[in-house]
Amino acid sequence: NAGVTQTPKFQVLKTGQSMTLQCAQDMNHEYMSWYRQDPGMGLRLIHYSVGAGITDQGEVPNGYNVSRSTTEDFPLRLLSAAPSQTSVYFCASSHPEMNTEAFFGQGTRLTVV
């Protein structure tokens, strides 16, 4: 059982470039979310989705777009990368009930130069 898979694991971008971080889960979870974690800090929510076709903004959504066309996939798009987006990005999935656990991917370490 693969769980939550993020690709790539590492990425270096130049300022202004765009890219998509991939996230896939095989647990049939309706709820998926993206977080970023800056050095020495806790995770901050970027965007989340409660099901296919439904997305919403989290705490720090600016500069990022998401879509959810299938239950399994929840890609995060950086439209025009900036050095302030240098961070480690984590994707998570869970069932929507409050008493269920969330599963996290291993993260994508992004550096924008």
Nearest distance from C-beta of residue 16 to other proteins, angstroms: 28
* Half-sphere exposure of residue 67: CA atoms within 13 angstroms, side-chain side: 5
CA distances from 91 to 14, 16, 19, 33, 46 (A): 23, 23, 16, 6, 10
Nearest distance from C-beta of residue 64 to other proteins, angstroms: 16
Does 63 participate in binding other proteins (rule CB under 8 A)? no
Cβ-based nearer residue to other proteins, 77 or 95: 95
Determine contact, residues 92/104, Cβ cutoff 8 Å: yes
Does 107 participate in binding other proteins (rule CB under 8 A)? yes
- Binding positions for other proteins, rule: CB under 8 A: 4, 31, 33, 35, 41-45, 48, 50, 58-59, 90, 92, 94-107
